[in-house]
Amino acid sequence: MHLPFATEPRWAGWRGRYDRLDLAITSWLARAGIVVLRLGLGFVFLWFGLLKFFPGLSPAQDLATRTIEQLTLGAVGPDVSLPILATWESLIGLGLLSGRFLRATLFLLAVQMLGAATPLLLFPAETFTRFPHAPTLEGQYIIKNVVLVGAAMVIGATVRGGSVVPHPAAPRDGLARPRAGRADRQD
């Protein structure tokens, strides 16, 4: 006897195909995502670092050198700070692109990001049209570094062999991890 309510709905076949496709895509993203993130971040740092070796090419050059001069109380002028910053950013880029010395590279990146954020405090008239909610173009350039910091954090989470898992119900080590839900509690 055929009972219509006992069979799978018509869309169940589509759901299975969708789930397989979704798992294939998320598995690929999990395998490739961290590498693409690391290479993209490395490319940006190397590019922006190399620009600073050629005075006048980097739009951030003036603000960066004035920030360093202010932070060092005038001890480090633009003639010294610009090549140092160019080298620093280029090393970050090369470290990310090569995938070598990632801990040291990410440390350099963290220190650079702290320095890159200081113009928001040191030069608010240049980084905001209305402090603190309306940044200028320079302020936006600095604030977007939050995304770079987030990318570095994700990369940093993998330096000990960590990875992105595309399907949390199937952990890489094959061990099931129970969820602590209401039914699991024994009060």
| Among 157, 150, 181, CA closest to 103 | 157
Does the CA dihedral 6-11-16-22 come out positive or negative? negative
Give me the count of residues in the chain: 187
Amino acid, res. 65 = T
3-state secondary structure of 130: strand
Contacts of 37 (CB under 8 A, 6+ apart): 151, 154, 155
Select from 88, 74, 64 the least CA-distant residue to 142: 64
Question: What's the confidence (pLDDT) of residue 169?
Answer: 67
Task: Identify the band that residue 17 occupies on the pLDDT scale cut at 50, 70 and 90.
Answer: confident
The confidence score (pLDDT) of residue 12 equals: 66
Give the model confidence (pLDDT) of 139-183 as tens digits: 999 999 999 999 999 999 999 988 888 877 655 555 555 555 444
- pLDDT-derived band at 37, boundaries 50, 70, 90: very high
- 52-91 confidence digits (pLDDT tens): 999 899 999 999 999 999 999 999 999 999 999 999 999 9
Backbone φ, ψ for residue 134 (5° rounding): -130, 85
| pTM, to two decimals | 0.80
Q: Domain residue spans in the chain?
A: 32-162
